[in-house]
Structures are given as structure tokens and as C-alpha cells.
Chain A
């Protein structure tokens, strides 16, 4: 990972945080099936600490996380120089305008309302992956 040979493909790292185990599990598998590296957290504080060592490219955060909610996690990530370039996605059941507004304020790149079609996730990961490898 330290060297950047042109032939080496950099695999996108994705962190999923959701208190519902089945959400984390299925997203994790989905991301792996799509060919990326996944890590799963079940609450806000661990999501942050995992992120600090895992250094993900993409973070999918549930809003109603125990410990620290998704907005707080996102704000802290944005304040962290190692994490502030991440693509951070709110994945949530909340869909009213005030929720979208709040996500934007907290620094989320996207606000995705559950359920999330795999194609949408796939599209985003492909484009981010090509950006990363072109860089």
C-alpha cells in the first residue's frame, strides 16, 4: 500500500455503521461481493475509532446510532484531517426536508433513504474507485 505502482489496483475501503446487525452484515457482504473491502460498526463511537485505523474511502452512516449519532460522527470525521476526504453517506429511514438539511449541515455528501438499491451503491463505488485509481 505504501508504494503506488501503476499496475496495482487500489481497492476501495468502505465502512458501514448501523445498529441493526442485519443491515451491517448485508451491506458488508454486498460490498465484498462487489469487490471492495468492508468493515462494519454497530455504534457511533466504534465507527469513529474503526475509521481512524481503517481509513475508509466511503463511510455509510446510519443516523440513529447508539452512543453517538450519525450527525456527530460525520462532523467529527470532517474535522479529522485523515478522514475529511471520505465520501460520507447518510443511510437512513428519515426522509423529510429537515433531515436532508441537517445531513447537509453535518457534512454528509449524500443522504440516501433506505432501502438502498444495490445499483446506486455500485455506481457510486465504481466511480469513486476509478477516481482513486486515476489519481
Chain B
């Protein structure tokens, strides 16, 4: 019974719908007559129709009822005292609500003039009184059925409108769901835009254009467009917004306002060689990411299509909102992918840069095993190992410093120091290397002590990095000029390092201080390095509340780097010795090593001794302090983990003792964490060295001691 039964059921229902007597709802009938006996007659006659009879005894009363109720038909007595039937009918007609309600006039005067007047006043029918009950009943029934049919028709229309709205809502939501699915597949902004411009076609637009502004330097934006039907657009498969200045302008405004822009007319006044005349209406939607319009979607309808209406905007807006969400994800994903790519690239380059010095070290060591000790090449091999190992440790230091800088973890050991001395000393220290490259090095400018609150180690590093770069990027025969100038009024010092080297392309100038910049040169790089030097200079100078900038007239035309630093005080006298010698020169110190580990003590002693310093050792804190008073060292190397009294105690005692307090005290420890370093600096150490101590770091430490001790001398009256 299933199939047939089901079918017959549907058929039956359709038949019922078609044949069913119209809504059996009770209709209102209004009876207007000033005579109660007449009203009673009409009521009696019409009662059996089963409708709702309402009575008015005057025109005024009838009008009141008409305010509250709808009537299927009105029976109106022409002859009434205050307001006659014609006037009442006129007023009924004037009201919008009752303008079309059928009125049957009832009157005894059956003359033609009266009839004509009745019709002129809005009657639809005319009955002479006394009425024939059958005639009245039949006429009223006709109007009741008419009213019922009209009501039914209105209901059906309402239903249809409702169904259509529901269908539209369902279509819209299906559209949005599909949009969501299509968009989330996108892996990049370009893919997203490609999917996006297809989506509204042809449901929402005849053509669409989307673009996203890029943050990255170089690429202005990603743009896409598509059309639903090429024929419609003169065979074009794409619409380029830059060809439509008026549209581009409107879209750019959307970027600023972040609001939907809607144009149901497009400019026609100007002369267009483009497709403007074919465009009928446009909606421009912002694609919002984190509250900012990062892109826009332009929906375009052809002139031949229905123009956009305001009620098209909510769906378009909903789409744009969803795109914004997806765009945010895609942007984040791209950012992560880019960071990941940069990281891989950097790691590859790091390995390359570390293997470069490792190669010759390895070769030299293997050769040392093969050749006889007295072979003259031995000295060369040692030099190679020395130079390359230094290069490697510089790379590693730079890498660690750059990481610390990026995480805000560089601790400045700020003290009052003489910037003049730091600049001249750094230049002196680099002179040998620079001259060995066949370059000329000149130093000019102020020579008076300039006191600043800074970390001498870090300032030396910053200036040294600039010199290192200048040396690296300038061919033999060139010149490196350093100048040091003071602006007393603005309390600023200016250090300039200028070279005649390879220079910097104008477009690169803005980004050379960014970390890992050099990395992007890929395989064409021949000069090596991690590309961290300038980032470090910038970071270190900024930690000193200073500024750096670079200038270059272009490639192969040299470059100039400027460090600006705030200063505290400038002395009027010139420095006594205005010639500086490199640190690793012959300056000798009295050095005390306080270290309980006998091997560590003796190796430190040996290293220092070889460099020509006067060295004494002590195995405990107490012996150390006693030795310090007699031996009066300029520099003390003190282990932290001493038995009984530890290194922190030693340095505190030294700092409190007027005789010893000016000594340069270096902490020796196995721990190199920031916190350990901070702890030793807090306790009063000048420097924190991590064991094992090698010759280079020892030499650097003594160089720093030299600066400090020298500045104390200069300050002494």
C-alpha cells in the first residue's frame, strides 16, 4: 500500500485544498439604521447566515465601529436624521481601512436619481425597502463569500512570502557554509583570494575583486579577480581595479574607514576607455583582521543585472566577516611558515659559517701531526688555528648576544666611563687588523674625556663591530675614517665610522640593522658572517639610550655608520696621553689569582705569566686577602666557590677596604647563567668569567681592567 497509498494521500490533500469551502471564519456584518424595528427585521433575516451581526443606530456610531472592526459588508439606511446614508458612505469610503468594504444601500425612495447618488457615494448595491428577505440574504451571502475568499487569498500570499523568505535564508546560509568550506582550504593569502573571488559568482555578483595589503616590504598587495560570465564583460576574464580609478579610490577609502561602501550608481560623467559603463552597482566590503581592514572584497553587478539594494548588504557583510576570520588564520599561518623558513635558512647558514673556520683548524691539526716540529710551517699552522678559533668564538658570541638581545636579556654593567678613551682605545685595537687588510685608518675629532653612564664592554663591542664591518666590506687601498664629536649643548656624543667600501643599496638601508639580514643573500654571499653585527650595534646602543643610523650614496660608494650617545659631562682638559696603544700590547699587570683548584690556579698562572704579567696565587680567601694587601695587585681573579669564605665575601671585603677597593676584581666560576652573572656583579665584581678560562677571554678581561683602572687614574686629582 506504500507507494500507491502515499500518492493517493497527496492527491486527496490537493483536492481538498482546491475544493474546500473558503475559510469558515465568521464574518462581520454591519447594519446601520436609525429605526430599531428595521434593525430587528434585518437581524432576523440574516441570523441564519450564522455571521456576526453588528448594529449601529447612526452614521457616527457606524464610523466608531468601523475604527475597531473589519466588515464583509455594510447595510446602510439612506434615511437617517443627523448624518444621512450618503454622507456616512462618503466618510466610510474616505477611510483607508474601509475604502473598499462593500456597502448596500437600503431605501424606500426608488427613484433613479437616488440610485445614481447612492452609487456615486460608494454603494456596490442597492435594495429597496421593505426588503425581500430572500433577496437580502442572497446578496449578503455573496459579499460574505467574497470576503472569505479575499481573506483566504491574503493568507496564501502571506504564506508564500514567508516560504520564500525561508528559502532565501536557507540559500544564504548554504552559501555561507559553502563559502566557509571553500575558504578554510586556503593555505596562503593568494589561495584564499583566488577562492574568495569565485565564491559570490553568480549568486551575489557578476564579477568580484579582492585584495589584501601586505605588511612585508616589497610586495604591495595580493590581488585577484574573477567574472561569472566572460561574454557579459566584453570577453574579459579578470577586472583589474587599477584600471578603474574611481573604484580603486572608493576601495582605498574602505581601507581607512573599515566600513562597507555601497554604490548603486557608478560614475558615468567621465570618458571611459575601460569597462566602467558596463558596471551597474558595487558593494565594497572591508576584510577585517583584528579590528583593522587588511583587505577588501569588491562585488560588482553588471548594468544588465538588478542593482544592489540595501538588503543585499547583510549577506555580503556576513561573507566578509567570515573571510576576515579565515584571513587572520592564513596570515598567522604564513607568518609561522615564514619564520620557520627563515629559521631553517638561518640554521643552514649558521652551520656554513661555523664550518668555514672549522675547516682550516681541522686541516692545520691534521698537518701538525704529519710535519716535523721544527718545520717552519708549524708557526703558520698555529696562527691559522688561533685566528680561525677566534673567528668562531666571535660568531658564537654574536649569536648568543643577538639571542639575548632579542629576549631583552642583555645586562648592562653601567658605570661612569670615558667614552673618548673607549673610542680611541677600540680604534687602536683594530688598527693592526685594518692595516693588515691594506686599508688606511684615520681618527679625528674630540680628545677630551667625555663621561657617560655606560657599559664599557658593550660600547667597545658596538664600536668594534662597526670597525670590523668596515674592514670586511672595504677593498685593499681604501680608507676607514673614524670621528668622535661632542655636542655639549645637546649633551650628545657622535661616533662616525666611514669607509670607502662596497656601500649599501638605497633600498637596503632601512633594513640593515635588522637581525639575520645578511642571511637573505643566500649562496651569493662571499664575505661570510651571520649578519648579526649591525643588529647588535643597534641593540647595544639603544640599551644606552642612544641611536644608530647608516648612510650610503649607493653600491660601491662607501658607507657611513653613526652612533649617537647621550653624555653626562665633558671635561675641558685634553687627555694626557693622546696616543692609544692596542690592549693586547705590552701593558703588564700585577695579578692575584685566588683559586682553590690547584690545576686551575696553575694554568691561569701559566697563561698570565707567559703574557708577561706578574702573578701570585692563593688557595683560600683569607690567604688571598692577605696577599692582596702586601702584593697590591691591580687585578684579582677570584674563584666564587672557595672553601669556608666564598668569593662573594672576598669581593665585599675588598670593596669595603679603602686600600683595596679600586682593584679590578674578576669572578671565576663554572656558571654562566644571567642570574649567576648578575649575582657576582651585585656582590661587587667588575667582571664575570666562566671557566675554563682561555687566553683570549683573559686578555679581553685585562683590557677591560686597563680601561677601568685608567679612567680611575684620570679621575684622580
Measuring CB to CB, which residues of chain A are less than 8 angstroms from any residue of chain B?
19-20, 22-23, 25-27, 29-30, 33, 63-66, 69, 71, 91-96, 99, 102, 113-118
By the criterion CB–CB under 8 Å, are A30 and B366 in contact?
yes
Offer 23 A-B interface pairs, CB within 8 angstroms, sorted by A.
A19-B526, A20-B359, A22-B364, A22-B384, A22-B388, A26-B360, A26-B363, A26-B381, A29-B377, A30-B367, A33-B371, A64-B524, A69-B524, A92-B355, A93-B355, A95-B355, A99-B348, A114-B355, A114-B359, A115-B362, A115-B363, A117-B366, A118-B366
Cα of A117 to Cα of B380 in the assembled complex, Å: 20
Among A25, A63, A96, point to the contact of B384 (Cβ < 8 A). Answer: A25
Q: With A25-B384, A29-B377, A64-B528 known to touch, is A115 a contact of B352 (CB < 8 Å)?
A: no
- State in angstroms the CA–CA spacing of A116 and B388 once bound together: 16
Additional A-B contacts beyond A23-B356, A114-B358 (16; CB < 8 A): A20-B359, A22-B387, A22-B388, A23-B360, A27-B363, A33-B370, A33-B371, A69-B524, A92-B352, A93-B356, A94-B523, A96-B344, A115-B363, A116-B362, A116-B363, A118-B366
**Residues 485 to 528 of chain B near chain A (Cβ within 8 Å):** 523-526, 528
* Chain B positions within 8 Å of A26 at CB level: 360, 363-364, 367, 381, 384
List A contacts of B524 (CB < 8 A): 64, 69
Interface centre among A20, A27, A63, A65 (most CB of B within 10 A): A20
Contacts of B380 in A (CB 8 A): 25
Among A66, A71, A115, max chain B CB count under 10 A is at A115
Specify which chain B residues have a CB less than 8 angstroms from the CB of A22 in the assembled complex.
Answer: 360, 363-364, 384, 387-388
Complex Cα distance, B524 from A88, in Å, reads 20
CB distance from A36 to the nearest CB of B (A): 14
Nearest-CB distance from A55 to chain B (Å)? 25
Q: Which B residues lie within 8 Å of A95 (CB)?
A: 348, 351-352, 355
Task: List residues of chain A with CB within 8 A of the CB of B528.
Answer: 64
A64 with B353: CB separation less than 8 A: no
B74 within 8 Å of A by Cβ? no
B158: min CB distance to chain A, Å? 69
| CB closest chain-A residue, reference B345 | A96
Give Cα distance in the complex from A27 to B367, angstroms. 9
Considering the complex, give the chain A residue whose CB is closest to the CB of B388: A22
Please give me the residue from chain A that is nearest to B344 by CB atom.
Answer: A96
Give the chain B neighbours of A99 by CB distance below 8 A.
348, 523
- Give chain B's interface residues, CB within 8 Å of chain A: 344, 348, 351-356, 358-364, 366-367, 370-371, 377, 380-381, 384, 387-388, 523-526, 528
Q: How far is the CA of A73 from the CA of B362 in the complex (A)?
A: 26
Measured CB to CB, the closest approach of chain B to A31, in angstroms, equals 10
Nearest chain A CB to B476's CB is how many angstroms away?
13
Contacts of B362 in A (CB 8 A): 114-117
Quote the shortest CB–CB distance from A121 to chain B (angstroms). Answer: 10
Q: Tell me the smallest distance from the CB of B438 to a CB of chain A, in Å.
A: 13
A33 to B356 alpha-carbon distance, docked (Å): 22
| Cβ A69 vs Cβ B359 within 8 A | no
Q: How far is the CB of A98 from chain B (nearest CB, A)?
A: 9
Cα of A26 to Cα of B377 in the assembled complex, Å: 10
- Give the shortest distance, in Å, between A45 (CB) and chain B (any CB): 13
Asked if A30 and B348 make an inter-chain contact with CB atoms under 8 angstroms apart, the answer reads no
Known: A64-B523, A93-B356. A29 touches B388 (CB 8 A): no
Shortest Cβ distance from A24 into B: residue: B360
Residues of chain B with a CB closer than 8 A to A102's CB: 523
Tell me whether A66 and B526 are in contact in the complex, defined as CB-CB below 8 angstroms, given that A26-B367, A33-B370 are known contacts: yes
CA distance A25 to B356 in the complex (A): 14
The CA-CA distance from A131 to B143 in the complex, in Å, is: 120
With A23-B360, A114-B358 already in contact, the answer to whether A64 and B370 are too (CB < 8 A) is: no
A92 to B348, CA, bound (A): 12
Residues of A within 8 A of B364 (CB): 22, 26
**Chain A residues with Cβ under 8 A from B526's Cβ?**
19, 64-66, 69
Nearest-neighbor residue (CB-CB) of B361 within chain A: A115
Given known A25-B384, A69-B524, contact A114–B356 (CB-CB < 8 A): yes
Report yes or no: B525 in contact with A115, Cβ–Cβ below 8 A. no
Q: By the criterion CB–CB under 8 Å, are B360 and A20 in contact?
A: yes
Chain B nearest CB, measured from A48 CB (Å): 16
Bound CA–CA A64/B523 (angstroms) = 7
Query: B384 — which chain A residues lie within 8 A by C-beta?
Result: 22, 25-26
Cβ–Cβ < 8 Å partners of B366 in chain A: 30, 117-118
Q: How far is the CB of A73 from chain B (nearest CB, A)?
A: 13
Considering only CB atoms, which chain A residue lies closest to B350 in the complex? A93
> Which residues of the other chain, B, contact A91 by a CB distance below 8 angstroms?
359
Residues of A within 8 A of B377 (CB): 29
Bound complex: CA of A16 vs CA of B370, how far in Å?
20
Q: What is the bound-complex CA distance between A75 and B133, given in angstroms? A: 118
Which 6 residue pairs of A and B lie closest in terms of their CB atoms, listed nearest first? Answer: A93-B352, A26-B363, A115-B362, A93-B355, A114-B359, A22-B360
Interface centre among A22, A33, A115 (most CB of B within 10 A): A22
Q: Compute how far the CA of A66 lies from the CA of B524 in the bound complex, rounded to whole angstroms.
A: 9
Docked pose: A114 CA to B528 CA in angstroms: 15
Set A33, A64, A66, A116: member contacting B359, Cβ < 8 A:
A116
Closest to A71 in B: B523
Are the C-beta atoms of B523 and A30 separated by less than 8 Å?
A: no
Chain A residues with Cβ under 8 A from B367's Cβ?
Answer: 26, 29-30, 33
B388 touches A115 (CB 8 A): no
A92 to B377, alpha carbons, bound, how many Å?
Answer: 25
A23-B359, A30-B363 known; A64+B525 contact, CB < 8 A = yes
Q: Is B371 touching A93 in the complex (CB atoms < 8 A)? A: no
* Chain B hits for A19, CB < 8 A: 526
Give the CA-CA distance A64 to B528 in the complex, in Å. Answer: 9
Contacts of A116 in B (CB 8 A): 359, 362-363
Q: Chain A contacts of B363 at CB under 8 A?
A: 22-23, 26-27, 30, 115-116, 118
Most B CB contacts (10 A, CB to CB) among A30, A96, A114, A118 go to A114
Tell me the smallest distance from the CB of B394 to a CB of chain A, in Å: 15
CB-contact partner of A63 in B348, B358, B523, under 8 A: B523
In the complex the two chains form, is B353's CB within 8 Å of A93's CB? Answer: yes
With a cutoff of 8 Å between Cβ atoms, the chain B residues found around residue A113 in the complex are 355
Tell me the minimal C-beta distance from A12 to chain B in angstroms.
Answer: 18
Contacts of B525 in A (CB 8 A): 64
Contact across chains for A93 and B351 when beta carbons are under 8 A apart: yes
Chain A residues with CB under 8 A of B387: 22
The chain A residue sitting closest to B363, CB to CB, is A26
**CB distance A69 to B523 under 8 Å?**
yes
Which residue in chain B gives the minimum CB-CB distance to A119?
B366
A32 to chain B, nearest CB (A): 10
Hey, which chain A residues are within 8 Å of B381, CB to CB? 26
Which chain B residues border A27 with CB–CB below 8 Å? 363
- By beta carbon, the residue of chain B nearest A96 is B348
- Return the chain B residue nearest A115 by Cβ: B362
CB distance from A63 to the nearest CB of B (A): 6
Shortest Cβ distance from residue B376 to the other chain A in the assembled complex, whole angstroms: 11
Complex interface: chain A residues within 8 A of B371 (CB): 29, 33
Q: For B377, give the chain A residue with the smallest CB separation.
A: A29
**Residue of chain A at shortest CB distance from B521:** A64
Closest residue on chain B to residue A23 by CB atoms: B360
Shortest B399–chain A CB gap in Å is 15
What is the distance, in angstroms, from A29's C-beta to the closest C-beta of chain B? 6
Distance from A100 Cβ to chain B, minimum over Cβ atoms (Å): 12
B residues within 8 A CB of A92? 352, 355
CB distance from B570 to the nearest CB of A (A): 44
Q: Nearest Cβ in chain B — how far from A67, in angstroms?
A: 8
B348, B355, B377, B525 pick with most chain A CB within 10 angstroms: B355
Tell me the smallest distance from the CB of B112 to a CB of chain A, in Å: 108
